[in-house]
């Protein structure tokens, strides 16, 4: 059994919905479908969820919301008409929205209930369309599916009892279409997840029904092995492990929120990222383990905007608790750090520049000087980080040599190196100015063969 | 003005004392001399300090101490006779010891006072011998010199007021001979430093008188650039910075205790390690800064007996305070760590195996599992660490490439790499089995040209 999630661009229009239906029909294992709300059809379009937020704000304000309502209905009407469906589903969908508006009492509940209408309407339409196309299909409301969540409007957390209830969906024979993005509290109130929450629904449903595969359809063929704004038309990654995906997320690589993946990760369910517009492309598989592990580099993540906090103190390594106290000062100031490579008498802490403004910098430096009695503390900004990613990579003799040579070849000095025993990544810290040419050189060394 | 310290082997016999006198006479700047107690004359000999501890234990026990006393006096008599000196100094020295024994009341005080007789007697003899050789010389007791210490028998700490008092020694014209290893509390009681404490006296006196140079005479020509039990007859190091010396101490490189050097380090006083048996050899200079910094590797330190504590948790890097809490658990268990390289979702902590027995290991692993809710925690023993050391080294493009190639050449896999922005060292973690051949290969790459 496969759980298949379609993102906003995959359900943005009637023509996209036809592709979705065709993808579902092409594989009898695609039994549970999770949908987002219709996204942008072109760069100037507005996402349905944003139209719904606009509508909710007007309802809450008590201002005239008729135009806002029309715009939402129009989005769905375009799809229904394009799919040559009769008007029943549109009427039902409209009625649902008006019911929410008319029962408005508490702002946060109305906001959540209206926002959810995007996914809910899409699921209604898709289920009906699949039926018209001759499939046995059913719309399944998250309440019926058993998605029980905490009562935190706009940031619901899935409660553990959902898993057992979702497992019951395996007993059903039809294709089940579930709207993403929301669940119901124990009191029966509709509550939404944080934005992008359809991925949470997809992952929790995949975990709950113990799917053999969780397919996540979006608008890219696969994950690139390197940032395509630095290297032109880079290679795709076919198979990634969860750990590798996390390491690559350093560079904003992630196609979806990695928090959303936790339920699937915990059940070790493989995930496949595929393209609705090119479903025959193999996509990128994300798996718990790769059996044919070669110990190769699978991707290069890179990002700038880092700073290094450097602290030096004679006999530092004899001082029990020094590192802990340094990190405590950062934690007190709500600064999270990325890495902390160290020598005998010094420690460098790598921090995203966005974490530390000048005010915090002065405070942290003063505290380190006073509380840790160091010999020297300094901060260097404009640093960039490059991560070579690949499970088992560090078992392969020669990879670090090949990497350092790639830096040398383009005259980029390695300021910091950090490689734990995780065997998943090797981090290089450099001055930001050398970032692009270092990444290009590494790509050439590891991929352009 | 130079402060010159002679270690136990340099004052072990009359012939050695003659070398010491000749070294002092050969340079008019050698004005303040600090001496240890006579050490071993050959492999089967017993150090004077151990003879004195044996004597003190018998005195404290109330058992017959006459033979133990005779053995101590015999050591000094051998030297005095060998130097063809008259008996006065020996009588005075003997009287001092007997005075301590006869005034015995409190064990710890007697132990400290008797232990100190080794250095004190040596200083008395050397001062007298220099005078007989025609120099203006004077024995200076640490009380007279102004070495004020905390009242902690066997582990005295130097008090800050000592510095100002020691500075007054600059006003004296004679060659001053000060016994190492002890000072006096504010109540006027003799208290010794921890074992090896003559280095503390040497360093504090050098700092106090603001010496141009602190010479530390021992029995090696200089510091080797690599462990001579791994590489046969390696090159000497001519100049080292304090920081480099500290990094090299990873491998038990240190000729003296590096804590002892703190006073000299704080005043940026250069230190020269020289050989009493070959005083014309240039020795190894330890300086605050090297003006002609080439950014080269100056030494390779290596040691085995490490373990890696590996912790992995999905989304670790989103968790503010994770690293700090991990280090807190280690601190609670009194475990100090060496390095902590990390990935996005994992952290490796490198710890000396001696810091963590099986009982502590079980406790730490259980706490990490329960308190940090990690996905995985594991421990790998039998790790070795290799440090490439050299200030400015990391500014030199190509050093990391050369290093990784040296590992590859002998088929040793690099498990961990840690290079902070300190520009003093680069750490490689490997399995202990590959240690010797990796060090030999690195030596070949960086030194055997």
Q: Taking a C-beta distance cutoff of 8 angstroms, is the pair B217, B126 a contact?
A: no
Q: Which residues of B touch A395 (CB under 8 A)?
A: 413
* Residue that wins the pLDDT comparison between A261 and B23: B23
Q: Is the pLDDT of residue B90 over 90?
A: yes
Give the contacts of B251 (CB within 8 A, at least 6 positions apart): B227, B301, B302, B303, B387
Most B CBs within 10 A among A420, A424, A437, hence the mutation to make, goes to A420
Other residues' Cβ atoms within 10 Å of the Cβ of residue A111: 22
* pLDDT score of A267: 93
Q: Is the pLDDT of residue B218 over 80?
A: yes
Q: What is the DSSP letter of B434?
A: G
How far apart are the CA of B430 and the nearest CA of chain A, in angstroms?
10
Say which DSSP state A188 is in: S
Residue from the list A246, A320, A407 with its beta carbon closest to the beta carbon of B344: A246
Token couple for A421: 């025993």
Q: How much is the average pLDDT of B336-360?
A: 88
- Asked if B72 and B216 sit in the same domain, the reply is yes
Taking contacts as CB-CB distances below 8 angstroms, the residues of chain A near B404 are 400-401, 403-404
**Do the chains contact at A421 and B242, CB–CB below 8 Å?**
no
What's the rounded mean pLDDT across residues B137-153? 96
Of B39, B30, B53, B29, nearest to B8 (Cα)?
A: B39
Match 């960086």 to its residue by tokens.
B446
Sole residue written with tokens 């896999």: B413
Name every chain A residue with its beta carbon within 8 A of the beta carbon of B398: 408
Does residue B228 lie within any of the structural domains?
A: no
Tell me the pLDDT band of A294, cut-offs 50, 70 and 90: low
- Do A337 and A441 belong together in one domain? yes
User: Cα–Cα distance between A7 and A286 in angstroms, integer?
Assistant: 17
Whether residue A394 and residue B412 make contact (CB cut-off 8 A), yes or no, is no
Q: Is the pLDDT of residue A159 over 90?
A: yes
Alpha-carbon gap, residue B102 to B105, rounded angstroms? 9
Assign B422 a pLDDT band (cuts: 50, 70, 90): low
pLDDT at B342: 81
Among A193-197, A212-216, B254-258, name the most confident range.
A212-216
Taking 70 as the threshold, does the pLDDT of residue A342 lie above it? yes
Beta bridge partner(s), residue B217: B6, B274
Q: Where are the beta strands (DSSP E) in B91-160?
A: 137-139
Give the bridge partners for A287, in sequence order: A241
> In the 8-state DSSP scheme, what is residue B220?
S
> Which pLDDT score is estimated for A340?
85
pLDDT of A252 higher than 60: no
- Residue B338 pLDDT: 83
Domain assignment of residue B132, yes or no: yes
| pLDDT at position A297 over 60 | yes
The CA-to-CA distance between both ends of chain B, in Å, stands at: 38
Stretch B370-396: mean pLDDT: 89
What ipTM was predicted for this assembly?
0.75
Same domain, B206 and B326: no
**Which of B259, B344, B413 is the closest to A250 by Cβ?**
B344
For residue B339, give the nearest of A243, A337, A342 by CB distance.
A342
pLDDT in tens, A271-287: 999 999 999 999 999 99
B420/A contact by beta carbon, under 8 A: yes
DSSP letter assigned to residue B228: T
User: Do A20 and A140 have their domain in common?
Assistant: yes
Between the CA of residue B103 and those of A264, B150, B251, B399, what are the distances in Å? Answer: 79, 22, 44, 63
Q: Do B401 and A398 lie within an 8 Å CB cutoff?
A: no
pLDDT band at residue B243 under the 50/70/90 scheme: confident
CB B124 within 8 A of CB B93: yes
Q: Is B26 left (phi over 0), alpha (psi -120 to 50) or beta?
A: alpha
The verdict on a CB contact (< 8 Å) between B421 and A342 is no
B295 has a pLDDT exceeding 80 = no
The CATH number of the domain holding residue B65 is 3.40.1160.10
Distance, in Å, from the CA atom of A127 to the CA atom of A141, rounded to the nearest integer, reads 11
Please report the pLDDT score of residue B253 as a whole number.
60
If you measure CA to CA, which chain B residue comes closest to A265?
Answer: B314
pLDDT in tens, A46-88: 999 999 999 999 999 999 999 999 999 999 999 999 999 989 9
- Identify whether residues A341 and A431 lie together within a single domain: yes
Q: What's chain A's length in residues?
A: 449
Q: Which of residues 351-410 of A touch B (CB under 8 A)?
A: 380, 387, 394-398, 400-401, 403-405, 407-408
Structure tokens at A326: 């340094």
User: Could you tell me if B419 lies within 8 Å of chain A, comparing CB atoms?
Assistant: yes
CA distance A435 to A446: 16
Out of A259, A334, A346, closest to residue B315 by CB? A259
Least confident among A60-74, A198-212, B186-200: B186-200
DSSP-assigned letter for residue A354: G
Q: Are A130 and A6 in contact (CB under 8 A)?
A: no
| Cβ atoms < 10 Å from Cβ of A99 | 10
Nearest CA in chain A to B288: A314
Distance from the Cα of A168 to chain B's closest Cα (Å) equals 28
Confidence of residue B41 (pLDDT cuts 50, 70, 90): very high
Domain assignment present for B323: yes
Per-residue pLDDT, averaged over A430-443, amounts to: 96
Query: Which residues does residue A376 pair with via DSSP β-bridges, in sequence order?
Result: A312
> Who among A246, A341, A343 is closest to B247 (CB)?
A343
A25/A65 Cα distance (integer angstroms):
39
Q: What is the DSSP letter of B353?
A: G
Total domains in chain A come to 2
**Among B303, B283, B292, CA closest to B383:** B303
Using an 8 Å Cβ cutoff, are A331 and B322 in contact?
no
Give residue-wise pLDDT tens across range B93-112: 999 999 999 999 999 999 99
- B110's CB contacts (< 8 A; 6+ apart) are B56, B59, B60, B100, B101, B104
Partner A, chain B 296-335, Cβ-Cβ below 8 Å: 308, 310, 312, 314-315, 317-318, 320-321, 323-324, 327-328, 330-331, 334
CA distance to partner chain A, nearest, from residue B38 (Å): 30
Report the share of chain A in percent with pLDDT over 90.
75
Is B262 in the A-facing interface, judged by CB distances under 8 Å? yes
Which candidate from A259, A394, A416 shows the least CB-CB separation from B415? A394
The pLDDT value given to residue A343: 79
Written as six digits, the tokens of B442 are 């690195």
Residues 6 or more apart in contact with residue A9 via CB below 8 angstroms: A16, A39, A40, A218, A219, A276
User: What percent of chain B shows pLDDT beyond 70?
Assistant: 96
**DSSP H helices in A221-357:** 242-248, 262-266, 322-332
Whole-angstrom Cα distance, residue B284 to residue B215? 10
The mean per-residue pLDDT over the stretch B154-158 comes to 93
On the CB side of A88, CA atoms within 13 Å amount to 7
Question: pLDDT higher for A420 or B16?
Answer: B16
Q: Given A334, A341, A427, which is nearest B320 (Cβ)?
A: A334
Chain B positions in Cβ-Cβ contact with residue A249 (cut-off 8 Å): 344
The answer to whether residue A102 is domain-embedded is yes
Specify whether B340 is located in the same domain as B198.
Answer: no
Of the listed ranges A24-33, A432-441, B218-227, B412-421, the least confidently predicted one is B412-421
User: Do the beta carbons of residue B184 and residue B192 sit within 8 Å?
Assistant: no
In order of A7, A61, B61, B144, the CA distances from B183 in angstroms are 78, 82, 25, 10
Q: pLDDT class for B134, splitting at 50, 70, 90?
A: very high
As a whole number of angstroms, the longest Cα–Cα distance in chain A is 79
Chain B residues touching residue A337 (CB < 8 angstroms): 323
Burial class (CB within 10 angstroms; exposed 0-12, middle 13-18, buried 19+) of B418 = buried
Is residue A62 domain-shared with residue A210, that is, in the same domain? yes
In a domain, B278, yes or no: no
Q: Read off the pLDDT band of B292 (50, 70, 90).
A: low
> Does residue B12 share a domain with residue B144?
yes
For residue A51, give how far its alpha carbon lies from the nearest alpha carbon of chain B (Å). 31
Task: Return the closest-CA partner of residue A327 out of B431, B319, B393.
Answer: B319
User: Same domain for B206 and B318?
Assistant: no
Which neighbouring-strand residues pair with A380? A308
Closest Cα of chain B to A290: distance in Å? 17
DSSP classification of residue A258: T
- Write the CB contacts of A292 (distance below 8 Å, at least 6 apart in sequence): none
**Distance, CA of A306 to CA of A429 (rounded, Å):** 9
Quick one: A305 and A436 in the same domain? yes
A352 has a pLDDT exceeding 80? yes
Residue B434 belongs to a domain: yes
Q: Is residue B245 part of a domain?
A: no
**DSSP assignment of A397-448:** TTHHHHHHHHHHHTT----EEEE-TTSSEEEEEEEGGGHHHHHHHHHHHHT-
B271-275 sheet: strands from edge to edge: B137-139, B175-179, B30-35, B2-6, B213-218, B271-275, B284-287, B239-241
Asked whether residue B211 falls in the same domain as residue B120, the answer is yes
Query: Nearest-CA distance from A235 to chain B in Å?
Result: 23
Q: Is residue B291 part of a domain?
A: no
Q: How far is A264 from chain B (nearest CA, A)?
A: 12
Chain B CB contacts of A259 under 8 Å are 315, 318
Q: Are residues A318 and A197 in the same domain?
A: no
A348 close to B (CB below 8 A): yes
DSSP label of B339: B
Mean pLDDT over the full length of chain A: 92
- Which of B386, B411, B417 should one mutate to test binding to chain A, selecting the residue with the greatest count of A CBs within 10 A? B417
Q: Taking the CA of residue A146 as centre, how many other CA atoms within 13 Å lie in the half-sphere pointing to its CB?
A: 16
CATH number at residue B309: 3.30.2130.10
Tokens of A242: 């969860």
Q: How far is Cα A234 from Cα B170, in angstroms, rounded to an integer?
A: 72
- CA-nearest of A121, A105, A98 to A49 is A121
Q: Do B400 and A398 touch (CB under 8 A)?
A: no
The pLDDT tens digits of the residues spanning A379-436 come to 999 999 999 999 877 677 778 888 999 999 999 988 888 887 666 888 899 999 999 9
Q: Residue A321: which domain range? A: 299-446
Q: For residue A339, what pLDDT band results from cuts at 50, 70 and 90? A: confident
Query: In angstroms, what separates the C-alpha of A385 from chain B's closest C-alpha?
Result: 12
Strands A182-184 and A190-192, by their bridges, are: antiparallel
Q: Of chain B residues 198-257, which have a CB less than 8 A from chain A?
A: 242-243, 246-247, 249-250
pLDDT above 90: percentage of residues in chain B:
75
């Amino acid at each position: 059994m496969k759980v298949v999630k379609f993102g906003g661009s995959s359900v943005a229009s009637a023509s996209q919905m036809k592709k979705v239906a065709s993808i579902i029909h092409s594989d009898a294992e695609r039994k549970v479908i999770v949908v987002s709300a219709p996204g942008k059809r072109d760069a100037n379009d507005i996402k349905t969820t944003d139209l719904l937020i606009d509508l909710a704000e007007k309802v809450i304000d008590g201002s005239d919301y008729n135009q806002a309502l029309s715009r939402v209905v129009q989005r769905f009407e375009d799809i229904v008409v394009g799919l040559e469906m009769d008007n029943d589903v549109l009427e039902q969908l409209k009625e649902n929205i008006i019911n929410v508006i008319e029962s408005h009492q508490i702002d946060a509940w109305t906001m959540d209930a209206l926002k959810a209408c995007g996914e809910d309407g899409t699921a209604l339409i898709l289920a009906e369309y699949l039926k018209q196309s001759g499939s046995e299909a059913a719309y399944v409301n998250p309440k019926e599916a058993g998605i029980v969540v905490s009562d935190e409007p706009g940031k619901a957390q899935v409660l553990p009892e959902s898993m057992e209830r979702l497992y019951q969906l395996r007993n059903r024979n039809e294709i089940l279409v579930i709207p993403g993005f929301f669940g119901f509290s124990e009191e029966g109130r509709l509550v939404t997840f944080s934005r992008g929450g359809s991925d949470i629904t997809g992952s929790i449903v995949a975990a709950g029904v113990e799917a053999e595969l969780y397919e996540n359809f979006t608008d890219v063929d696969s994950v690139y092995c390197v940032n395509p704004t630095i290297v032109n038309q880079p290679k795709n990654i076919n198979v990634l492990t969860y750990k590798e995906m996390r390491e690559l997320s350093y560079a904003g690589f992630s196609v979806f929120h990695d928090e959303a993946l936790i339920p699937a990760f915990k059940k070790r369910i493989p995930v496949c990222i595929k393209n609705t517009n090119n479903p025959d492309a193999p996509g990128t598989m994300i798996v718990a383990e790769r059996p044919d592990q070669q110990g190769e580099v699978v991707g290069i993540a890179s990002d700038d905007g880092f700073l290094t906090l450097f602290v030096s103190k004679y006999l530092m390594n004899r001082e029990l608790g020094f590192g802990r106290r340094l990190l405590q000062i950062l934690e007190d100031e709500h600064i999270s750090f990325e890495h902390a490579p160290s020598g005998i008498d010094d420690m460098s802490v790598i921090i995203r520049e966005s974490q530390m403004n000048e005010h915090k910098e002065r405070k942290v430096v003063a505290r380190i000087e006073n509380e840790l009695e160091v010999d020297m503390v300094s901060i260097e900004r404009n640093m960039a980080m490059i991560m070579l990613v690949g499970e088992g990579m560090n078992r392969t003799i020669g990879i670090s040599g090949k990497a350092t040579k790639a830096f040398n070849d383009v005259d980029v000095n390695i300021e910091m190196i950090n490689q734990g025993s995780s065997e998943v990544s090797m981090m290089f810290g450099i001055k930001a100015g050398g970032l692009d040419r270092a990444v290009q050189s590494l790509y050439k060394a590891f991929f352009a063969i």
